[in-house]
Structure 1
């Protein structure tokens, strides 16, 4: 049943420009670094014994804020597909569970964000090769920079989707999402329990994997609470 809902949601994405946004995020990050290295190549490369690590360090600084902005925008746009046509009540009267409806939306957004992560991996490798860094790129480190923030941000994805689905006025979840993204960029010195800090992969233990673990565990918890609320709530 959920596969049919997903197919329906994918069909609704046609001619909506949402896939352009999925591509825009990673392309924007890579393009910024292309310009950065184009202007400051000698400064960034000369004297750097590990140019690939230097490139990843530059990219890492933009991943979290781009990801969180993407979560806010995609969650709002996919939920607004029903809000714009007042279709929520019609959908919820069909012989399908509310759990399936919400989970399909969550899966759709997660899938699109994973596509962005894959594009970021490919873009990072291509940029490094163009810059002449050689073929000995650190595959594992590139995967970590590209995918770790996504898993760390799962609680935020569940929260933003819940807000976008349950609120007709999309200005509210979008404002919260944009504020969260900006807040995340300046949260290095804030407590580790703040979920908006987790995509930065910074913690007192110095181990990014803990942000990933917390993101998955808390993400499942926030998703479960969101589903329970959605199942009981009258969505307009």
Structure 2
């Protein structure tokens, strides 16, 4: 039954601007670096990153990935929840012969698909920028694919919080404000204590024990998801 719920949720998003958020967010980061390298081509390509232009492009792009991911999680979950709120369709959705936990999981899967699509688009658009700038050598496929994927996995605790809050709170201003604030603070993640989950995406971007913080992000998300699913199942959100 969860497959039908997931298909229905994806169909609902077609009538919103969600996929534009995915496209503009990923392409926007690449476009920003195209402008950055275009304006400072000689300095960046022949001086700063002369030994590895591809690595330089990926490094310059990656510094903005954490804030983009946090903003994407906030906006996407807010828009997904707002579909039900705007149409006052929670009663109809929860009246279906399905467990509430399946409804909760379907909303999560919908957002995850969009985030994964954004990661793929970021990799493709960054590769396109490098090719347009005339970078030689083989494409660093693995580095391009992990450019958004690893920070996204380390950011999953925020998705757990956004999923929980947006689906159980009628007032979307609270979770959206929290998500925007978190995205702004994440810029300084590298200087935060490692115990704070907000620091994990930037630490991953800096190459600091990448797999450790990816694993921590997934583990904490699993806990938050379980708690959120239990709360959603018991709370009257209609």
1:188–1:202 Cα contact (<8 Å) kept? no
Q: CA deviation at 1:15?
A: 2.5
Q: Aligned partners of 1:205 and 1:50: how far apart in 2? A: 17
Report the counterpart of residue 217 of structure 1 in structure 2. Answer: 219
SS at match of 2:197: coil
Which residue does 2:190 correspond to in 1? 188
Would you say the 8 A contact 1:192–1:203 is kept in 2? no
Query: Equivalents in 2 of 1:204, 1:27: separation in Å?
Result: 22
Give the secondary-structure state (helix, strand or coil) at the position aligned to 1:186.
Answer: helix
Q: 1:146 aligns with which of 134, 145, 148?
A: 148
Please give the alpha-carbon distance, in whole angstroms, between the structure 2 residues aligned to 1:82 and 1:73: 15
- In the alignment, the residues of structure 2 paired with residue 203 and residue 142 of structure 1 have an alpha-carbon distance, to the nearest angstrom, of 12
Tell me the TM-score normalized by structure 1: 0.96
Q: Is contact 2:63–2:205 with CA below 8 Å preserved after alignment?
A: no
Is the helix fraction higher in 1 or 2? 2
Deviations along 1:76-112, whole A, 9 cap, x unmatched?
0001111112211222122110110000000000000
Of the structure 1 ranges 68-77 and 47-56, higher mean CA displacement relative to structure 2 is found in 47-56
Matched with 1:41 is 41
Q: How far did 1:33 drift?
A: 0.3
Q: For the Cα contact (< 8 Å) 1:203–1:211, is it kept in 2?
A: no
- Count of paired positions: 236
Q: Which runs of 5+ in 1 are unaligned?
A: none
Assess, with a 3 A threshold, how the Cα gap between structure 1 residues 154 and 115 changes in structure 2: closer, same or farther: same
How does the TM-score come out when normalised to structure 2?
A: 0.95
1:19-71 alpha-carbon deviations (Å, 9 max, x no partner): 11111111010000011011111111113211111111100111110110000
Residue 14 (structure 2) aligns with: 14
Considering only aligned residues, what root-mean-square deviation do their CA atoms show, in Å?
A: 1.6
Please name the residue that 2:166 is paired with: 164
- Structure 2: segments with no counterpart, 5+ residues: none
CA distance in 1, matches of 2:143, 2:203: 13
Aligned-residue offset at 1:153:
1.1
Moved more, 4-13 or 130-139: 130-139
